[in-house]
Structure 1
Amino acid sequence: MAWSTRELADLAGTTVNTVRHYHRLGLLEEPERRYNGYKQYEVRHLVRLLRIRRLADLGVPLGQIGAVAGAGDGAPQALQAVDAELAASIERLQQARADIAAILRDGAPADSPSGFESVGSRLSEADSSIVHIYTRLYDEQALADLRAMVETDDDAVKDEVDALAPDADEETRESLAERLAPSLAQNILDYPWLSDPASHLSKSERVTQSTFVEAVTELYNPAQLDVFARAGIRANEQVSALRAAQAAAPQDGGGDRA
């Protein structure tokens, strides 16, 4: 019995182009040709093709099939490497499904930053962009804290800052800064690492600082940056005053005992 390329491909559940590709890679031996020039494949070609397809279905890269086929000494190590890659792929797919479920559940934009799906609909275009950048600069704990900050944001003040015109007047800027400062101060108290984030960086301090400066300068207009700067100064002043008051307060020693 002899098969043509198309017949062989059909038997193996693949395509003519795939069979030809295996020939080019040297995985499948070229058969003899009939008098009319057509290839004539035999059982050994079919078996070899089925073995190749089996290994490919397991995830073995085509470049490693020659070494893995049969009972070669390198087969266990190669299969273990493939298994590790498959496990990583499964983990990525499971995470993707979880993220998609969160996006659909919360009605968040499809391109919400990873881990921020539950608050994605509350982020402005600029805020979403900056959070995307933060995911490359900070560790998982810091990102979890940032998500918690978004969840407790004062939406009214945030919406006004988002809508602030580049040429907003002094009174408007000052008012927004005053109203934004308390939530910033609370964040500093709740998450002390904000004052010294070095231990939560996934990149170097130099890269983080330069990237942050470039990002906020491009993503926010001058008036918004001015409000952030003023609010940050006031927030730190409020935190310092509160800590000073706490340090000066008398400690409760339980009173004198008779």
Structure 2
Amino acid sequence: MAWSTRELADLAGTTVNTVRHYHRLGLLAQPDRTANGYKHYGIAHLVRLLRIRRLATLGVPLGDIALVAQGGDETPAALQAVDAQLTERIAELQRARADIAAILREGAPADSPRGFESVASRLSEADRSILHIYTRLYDQEALDDLRRMVEAEPSRSDDEFDALPADADEATRERLATELAPSLVQHLDDYPWLTDPTMHAARDDTVTQQTFVEAVVELYNAAQIDVLSRATRIAHERRGSEAAAGEPALDEGRDQFAEGERAEP
């Protein structure tokens, strides 16, 4: 009995394009053609195609199928490698399901940073964005602490900071910085590593610092950066510290923003 490409693909539960792809990879031999040019596949092609499909459904990469199909000494190791990859993939899928459950339960934005689903819906766009960046800069212990910080009930000052216009006047900036400082003092008391964030950096210190500065400049306006810098300075003064660990980065971010403003036509 002979089948056309479409008939073979249908019988094997796949598509014509897949059959053609296997031909291009050399996994499936080309069949003989009739006088009018039509391909005619036989039992041998069907069996070979079914075996290829079986290995593919097991997760064997197409590039390894020819080797695995030979059944040599390399086959067990190749299958064990596939099993390890599947184990990792299953873990990823389970984490994804847990994340989706948390997003639905908390009514959070679908792209909420992992672990921050419970608070994401009340954070500003800038805060959510910078948390995404933090997940790539800091280790899990630091991220857990950050989550606890933002889980605290937002204050009126937090809301005002989120809405602060870039041209906010001097009095508003100073007042808002003074109002925000106590919460920064509390954070520094509760999480001493904030005075030296490199303790929990997941990447090179220089990369972490540069990325942080660029993120602050990009995500917050000039007045917000100024308020953050002032509030940090006040917080460290209240704690009796002469040097604010987070302050240089904020000052640098403010200066970079100012340079960008001056450079605009």
TM over 0.5: yes
CA distance in 2, matches of 1:147, 1:215: 19
Letter in 1 for 2:132: H
Deviation at 1:181, TM superposition (A): 0.7
Which deviates more, 36-45 or 133-142? 36-45
In the alignment, which residue of structure 2 is the partner of 1:61?
61
CA distance in 2, matches of 1:16, 1:127: 49
In the alignment, which residue of structure 1 is the partner of 2:84?
84
In the alignment, which residue of structure 2 is the partner of 1:201?
201
Confirm or deny that 1:41 pairs with 2:58.
no
CA distance in 1, matches of 2:197, 2:209: 11
In the alignment, which residue of structure 1 is the partner of 2:160?
160
CA distance in 2, matches of 1:122, 1:6: 54
CA distance in 2, matches of 1:32, 1:222: 73
In the TM superposition, what are the counterparts of 1:29-178 in structure 2 within 5 Å?
29-178=29-178
Q: Which runs of 5+ in 1 are unaligned?
A: 242-258
CA distance in 1, matches of 2:211, 2:46: 57
In the alignment, which residue of structure 2 is the partner of 1:225?
225
Letter in 2 for 1:43: I
Letter in 2 for 1:235: A
CA distance in 2, matches of 1:158, 1:151: 13
SS at match of 2:40: coil
In the alignment, which residue of structure 2 is the partner of 1:28?
28
CA distance in 2, matches of 1:16, 1:214: 50
Distance 1:153-1:191 versus aligned 2 partners, 3 A rule:
farther
Letter in 1 for 2:124: S
CA RMSD of aligned residues (A): 1.4
TM-score by length of 2: 0.87
Check conservation: 1:113, 1:128, Cα contact below 8 A: yes
CA distance in 2, matches of 1:148, 1:69: 53
CA distance in 2, matches of 1:238, 1:86: 53
Distance 1:116-1:182 versus aligned 2 partners, 3 A rule:
same
Which deviates more, 50-59 or 164-173? 164-173
Work out the number of aligned pairs and report it: 241
Deviation at 1:153, TM superposition (A): 4.9
CA distance in 1, matches of 2:127, 2:47: 58
Greater Rg by CA: 1
Letter in 1 for 2:27: L
In the alignment, which residue of structure 2 is the partner of 1:214?
214
SS at match of 2:137: coil
CA distance in 1, matches of 2:169, 2:229: 16
Deviation at 1:4, TM superposition (A): 2.1
Dislocated runs of 4+, deviation >3 Å:
none
CA distance in 2, matches of 1:166, 1:118: 29
CA distance in 2, matches of 1:173, 1:199: 31
Deviation at 1:16, TM superposition (A): 1.6
CA distance in 1, matches of 2:126, 2:158: 12
Structure 1 residues 203-232: Cα deviation after superposition (integer angstroms, max 9, x where no partner): 111111111111111211121111111111
Check conservation: 1:138, 1:202, Cα contact below 8 A: yes
CA distance in 2, matches of 1:185, 1:123: 21
TM-score by length of 1: 0.89
Check conservation: 1:153, 1:183, Cα contact below 8 A: no
